[in-house]
Amino acid sequence: MGELWTQMGSLMATIMFVYAMMERFFPAALRDTLQIHTQKVMNLLYPYVQITFPEFSGERLKRSEAYTAIQTYLSENSSQLAKRLKAEVVKDSQNPLVLSMDDDEEVTDEFQGVKLWWAASKTASNPHAYSFSYYSPLDGKRYFKLTFHKKHRDLITVSYIKHVLEEGKEIALRNRQRKLYTNNPSSGWYGYKQSKWSHIVFEHPATFETLAMEQRKKEEIINDLVKFRNGKDYYAKTGKAWKRGYLLYGPPGTGKSTMIAAMANFMNYDVYDLELTAVKDNTELRKLLIETSSKAIIVVEDIDCSLDLTGQRNMRKERIEEEEPKDPNKKEEEESNKSSKVTLSGLLNFIDGIWSACGGERIIIFTTNFVDKLDPALIRTGRMDKHIELSYCRFEAFKVLAKNYLDVDSHHLFPRISNLLEVTNVTPADVAENLMPKCVNEDVETCLLNLIQALESEEEESDDGGLNEEKDKEEPTQQQKMKNNGHTVEDVKGNGFIL
Ligand SMILES: Nc1ncnc2c1ncn2[C@@H]1O[C@H](COP(=O)(O)OP(=O)(O)OP(=O)(O)O)[C@@H](O)[C@H]1O
Ligand SMILES: [Mg+2]
């Protein structure tokens, strides 16, 4: 057996030599014919199968996705074993420099106990060829060559290649630079860049660790996210779109936006901050959503205010207009100024899985300061799978903030603060503000005393404020008014969307 292999080895070496000679001395046409015949002989003797994956494919020479995925897979898995490596700058990646094996290098891989060989190669360049192609043939064409024993053909062609491509894409997604997208008004869609979304690099530092919230609640959310992330098969089996909806509610400054950032960091997702008031109608909404990537969190902040320009309110407005006919010129002008016509049903349709066909995992998050006033259709189970309340800062949440801002786990002033937090409704944002050192030399004790002072004065205010509290309930604060785009709660009620 060994002798046979030695003989085959020398036969192969001879064939390789003949190939090399052919490439040098024979004209291209003759060379091709000879190659076909030698290939036939080789196929009889050679027990291995080879598959090549060219870098560029198709008429327009687009970079092949498979090639890129294989390159990424090999970079992470076995390229380190190659002796000669190639360094490339990869766009939109967290590690700007990616090392992959250089041309004519070979590495081995193993799959379910089967050994395989990957080689990076380049076709011989033909200096006489002339092409209009941007990728000059003078450079030769790169490709990966996979070699394996023919008895494993099924395993490799069915399972292994699928595994490599999926893993390669997964690694690229993991290493990508995440983005924060915001939607452009549709008037800008057909302009110079024709882009529906603008983006910046997403680099928010928030994590679940730094999020001030009860530990039990935090863990519940993390478990829910993990279950969702690992639920690909479950969603496929049940025929549901792979999406999950969260409704975050609570007063301003309780950490709704911070939690979204923590979720995005935890899941390694992009964030699409959808400004519904800039979306003209449901068709535009659909176009925008279709352009979101997989592994994305789509956020509609202050949902109560985003839809108040729409749906039923517009219908109501139209009804009034019908009753009181207007100057046609004026009406036309108003028509063009009319902002969003996105309706509740348009939004709900998309939540219900309009893009189920697109695949990929998506999380949809709505935030609001006024959960009681939302339309029940919007928040019924199945649409928003989980309702998460972000509330005032209690002692457990305070301890997280003290650790974040002052790097302390305990202090003799903690019990006093704990008592005060039980009876005062302050937001984590206010606590954080008071914990921040006001000058360079301010020590932990002074910062905590500042907080105590603030809490005590808040407590005094609320003590004489039984009456004030009632008044507060009726009259929205300045902040709430701002959040309602200038409408007070009463105004919003008037539009019929908010109950
Ligand atoms: N639970 C929290 N944990 C950690 N930091 C918080 C928390 N809540 C608020 N903060 C701090 O307060 C700031 C404001 O919080 P954030 O913007 O998340 O509040 P919000 O609930 O989204 O408010 P709004 O309703 O006004 O949008 C954050 O930048 C963060 O520093
Ligand atoms: Mg917010």
DSSP state of 407: -
pLDDT in tens, 32-41: 777 777 777 7
User: Among the ranges 135-149, 175-189, 276-290, 411-425, which has the highest mean pLDDT value?
Assistant: 411-425
- The CA distances from residue 290 to 28, 198, 235, in Å, are 49, 15, 19
Any ligand 1 atom below 6 A from CB of 368: no
Sheet with 114-122, strands from edge to edge, namely 48-54, 142-149, 114-122, 105-111
Contact 67, 55 (CB under 8 A): yes
Ligand 1 pocket test, pick from 257, 263, 406, 433 with the greatest ligand atom count within 8 Å of Cβ, gives 257
Any ligand 1 atom below 6 A from CB of 256: yes
How many angstroms separate the first and last alpha carbons of the chain? 84
Q: Give the separation between CA 17 and CA 32, rounded to whole angstroms.
A: 16
Q: Are strands 296-300 and 197-201 parallel, antiparallel or unpaired?
A: unpaired
HSE-CB at 105 with a 13 A cutoff on CA atoms is 18
pLDDT in tens, 46-70: 788 999 999 887 666 678 889 989 9
Predicted complex ipTM: 0.98
DSSP state of 155: I
Any ligand 1 atom below 6 A from CB of 258: yes
> C-alpha angle 437/438/443, rounded to 5°?
45
Compute the CA torsion angle 309, 311, 317, 320 (nearest 10 deg): -170
Any ligand 1 atom below 6 A from CB of 434: no
Name the closest-CA residue to atom 18, ligand 1: 255
CB atoms within 10 A of CB 199: 14
Helices (H), 26-160: 28-45, 65-77, 153-154
More confident: 430 or 330: 430
Ligand with the closest atom to the CA of 258? 1
Q: Classify the C-alpha dihedral 239-232-179-97 as positive or negative.
A: negative
Specify the amino acid at residue 468.
N
pLDDT in tens, 425-439: 999 999 999 998 887
Q: Give the separation between CA 165 and CA 156, rounded to whole angstroms.
A: 12
Ligand with the closest atom to the CA of 428? 1
Burial of 151 (0-12, 13-18, 19+ CB in 10 A): exposed
Q: Give the separation between CA 487 and CA 492, rounded to whole angstroms.
A: 6
- The CA distances from residue 459 to 109, 127, 252, 417, in Å, are 67, 84, 19, 12
Name the closest-CA residue to atom 30, ligand 1: 429
Ligand 1 atom with least separation from CA of 213: 1
pLDDT in tens, 219-268: 999 999 999 999 888 887 887 778 888 999 999 999 999 999 999 999 99
pTM of the full structure = 0.72
Any ligand 1 atom below 6 A from CB of 365: no
